[in-house]
Structure 1
Amino acid sequence: MAANKLSLKLVIDKKSNRVLFAEAGKDVVDFLFSLLSLPIGSAVKLLTKAKMMGSFGNLYESVENLDATLINNKDLLLSPKVAASPLNVPVLIQNDEATITVYKCSLHPHYGLFSTNPTTTCPMCTYSSQYMSTATAYTPPNMVGKGYVKEQVLYMVKDNLTVMVMSSTAIIALLAVFGIDNVKSLEEKVVDLGMDEGLELLRTSWQSQNVLSQVFLTKKEK
């Protein structure tokens, strides 16, 4: 993602040093919506315990520290599968392949029962305890090349990450909400959205209603 940064145009109220909204294309909105497909376990792993809000980091660390013999599947919690992402959507974690490997029971291959763990006992094999260990490929619903939203539309992303179609009516209404009657108090600023900014957006979205302002206008201490 660092080599494939996106850009968005911020509209800033200079007086309050706050982002009123950002003009964003399909690629940025696809990225924002892709955050909804990110499992919490993967988010904690990305952000690290130090940057986590509340106690989720402690849960993650507890799983890490517990002996593997006490947990059925550590990887399921520490590195959960990420929902399939459309091509060209810059997510924080990407699946390496469009298909994933799932497992079924060799004795009941046509019952539609699958598992991501080859040591799962087949529920149909009540007495034999047969493992669902026969590998097969599963292709998630086809969104490849489509993304989440339509192209040829300009979107408005508010400071709290509310996304809507850009329109003069929406802009006028937003200016009225903030009591801005002079457009000279506004400035535009084009910013990059890469891996670092994406992680900050993810973290800040769990803590604040002023996400864009905090990520792009607040100076971070080194």
Structure 2
Amino acid sequence: MAVLPPDPVFSLRSPDMGAVNSVCFQENERLLAGTIKGSVFLWDLQTNRSALHFEVGSEPITSLHHTSDRLVTQEKGGTVTMFSIGNSSYVKEHSILGNHLGYCRSALYMNTSNTNEQLLFYPCEESSIGVLHVTDSAAPTQMLVPDDPQLPKLGSVTCFKPFDCASSLFLLAGYESGHFLTWDISSGVMVDVVELATDAMAVDYDPITNRGIVGGAFLRFTYSGQADHL
């Protein structure tokens, strides 16, 4: 006899919410859900009720990130919007048009050292990646543009993973062509390129063991210097 799955810890339903595209936690007490209709629902995990919901836009919410005092959303099409928390509600600060037609999700890097730096990596048009300073809205947005003429045609960025190594911040980014570029964020310089797999949709990397994993609809690769096909 097959073993039945366990009951869910939370069961959150609302007739107004519809299909959910993305979720994130806020301090383990609340859950935010981004919907296909372009709305964000805030759920109280103590009462299992939606305490608040609001519209971001008309496109599906593909990514959500929550810091101690801000909410960052990403919509289909690439638009990134930042909200601050005020009077038990979310106040829109500004939006950035990413002009990205693919399905690459944004990634939030949070430095736990004394600097408490928070950087948002988001896909832009062509093969570019934007780097937004979440904690300092006045800081200029950094752009990572693979303009080396020796590179092959990369296509759009499909996934990326920020990571710390040797006290420096790097970004591992995958592209439609199957190439993965490693960027040194402090200098904005590309430091490595390797061809792993086309149509990659997700990537993760552990700098301690120097191993990572790339996933897509029909593939899974692990890599350590070179890719080993599973």
Q: Tell whether the structures are fold-level matches, with TM greater than 0.5.
A: no
Question: Which of these two proteins has the greater Rg computed from alpha carbons?
Answer: 1
Tell me: higher relative CO, structure 1 or 2? Use CA pairs within 8 A at least 6 residues apart. Answer: 1
> Could you state the TM-score of these two structures normalised by the residue count of structure 2?
0.26
The structure carrying a bigger helix percent of its residues is: 1
> Could you state the TM-score of these two structures normalised by the residue count of structure 1?
0.27
